[in-house]
Amino acid sequence: MDCFSRVWLMMSGCFVLVGICVAVYGATTIQNAEASDYNPATCTRVKELGPTCTRSSGRRRVSCSWSCTYTMHSDVPGATDHDAPGGANNDSCTQFSCTSNSAFNCTTGCTSVVQDGEEVRLTFTSQAAEVTGGVLLLCFGLLFCCIASCFFCCGLGTGMGREPPGSSDSDSA
């Protein structure tokens, strides 16, 4: 087996594993979302960090996706502070309607995620949105895995994974 064949099989095998991992992460996201209670709540901002830019590049363009990290607590009795990502633009954080970072009693609607009777996190997305994201990850991971499996099998089927006839040690005996 030549070097190209080994690299082909190794890379396509790695892509199969990546597809499986993405699919498992999607399934875990769905399971966690379905096992949790999503309750509407009012969140009070404790602090915010940002805005920060996550750069992505396309054809001749570099664009920013702006976000802020909010530390907040909900109106649920006994709730603790939680961090959650939220909306922003290039000038300021926009998830809360008050403009000053030091303003007290700045509130907005949020969702309290409860597991086993305890608030585990706060989010600005709904349960349906999180399940939808998990389904998309699951489908993408399975599709990626299937395509990578085809490349792996093509590599095996075209003889990339096999020794040429007459080159094995058992034939020389």
- 139-156 pLDDT, tens digit per residue, is 999 999 999 999 888 877
User: What is the pLDDT at residue 27?
Assistant: 97
Percentage, residues of the chain above pLDDT 70: 85
User: What is the pLDDT at residue 16?
Assistant: 94
What is the C-alpha to C-alpha distance for residues 27 and 136, in angstroms, rounded to an integer? 10
Sign, CA dihedral 74-76-79-82, equals negative
Q: Where are the domains of the chain?
A: 3-152
Q: How many CA atoms lie within 13 A of 78 on its CB side?
A: 5
Query: pLDDT tens digits for 78-110?
Result: 788 999 998 888 888 888 877 665 566 788 899
Residue 56's pLDDT band (boundaries 50, 70, 90)? confident
Token pair listed for 13: 């095998």
In which residue are the tokens 């399934």 written? 27
Query: pLDDT tens digits for 42-55?
Result: 988 888 888 888 88
Q: Are 119 and 80 in contact (CB under 8 A)?
A: yes
DSSP code, position 60: S
User: What is the pLDDT at residue 92?
Assistant: 83
